[in-house]
């Protein structure tokens, strides 16, 4: 997996982007005492999320469901707010890309 420092413009600032080949896995936007994660989900990934709803916290599920649906998927912005957040992100990343030991 490649890790790159990218500049998202004046509105978003600097971010750390993780890619596997040409596919962006996750983009992290550091903030003071917090951070925001951008995850891009395609239709198949959204179906997997829907199948495993019980895995995620209510707040993360609400955010995913309320995010605008485009023809090819959703751009989900999640801002760190609560303790269970990291576990939710790990589970979402497993949907985006299976861990090497599960392939």
pLDDT tens for 37-59 read 999 999 999 999 999 999 999 99
Q: In terms of pLDDT, which residue wins out, 97 or 85?
A: 85
Listed by start position, the domains of the chain span: 49-97
Query: What are 56's two structure tokens?
Result: 């995620």
| Mean pLDDT (whole number) for 64-83 | 89
Query: What does the pLDDT read at residue 32?
Result: 85
* Cβ count within 10 A of residue 73: 15
In this structure, of 56-65, 75-84, 93-102, the range with the lowest mean pLDDT score is 93-102
Provide the mean pLDDT of the chain.
88
pLDDT at 5 over 90: yes
**How far apart (Å, rounded) are the C-alpha atoms in residues 49 and 52?**
5
CB atoms inside a 10 Å sphere around CB 78? 19
Phi and psi, residue 43, nearest 5°:
-60, -45
Residues in the chain, overall count:
103
Higher-pLDDT residue of 82, 54? 54
């Amino acid at each position: 997996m490649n890790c790159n420092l990218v500049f998202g413009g004046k509105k978003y600032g600097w971010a750390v982007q993780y890619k596997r080949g040409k596919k962006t896995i996750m983009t992290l936007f550091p903030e003071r005492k917090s951070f925001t994660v951008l995850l891009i989900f395609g239709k198949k990934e959204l179906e997997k999320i829907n199948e495993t709803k019980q895995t995620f916290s209510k707040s993360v599920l609400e955010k995913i469901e309320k995010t605008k649906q485009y023809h090819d998927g959703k751009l989900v912005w999640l801002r760190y707010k609560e303790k269970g957040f990291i576990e939710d992100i790990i589970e979402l990343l497993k949907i985006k890309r299976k861990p090497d030991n599960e392939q």
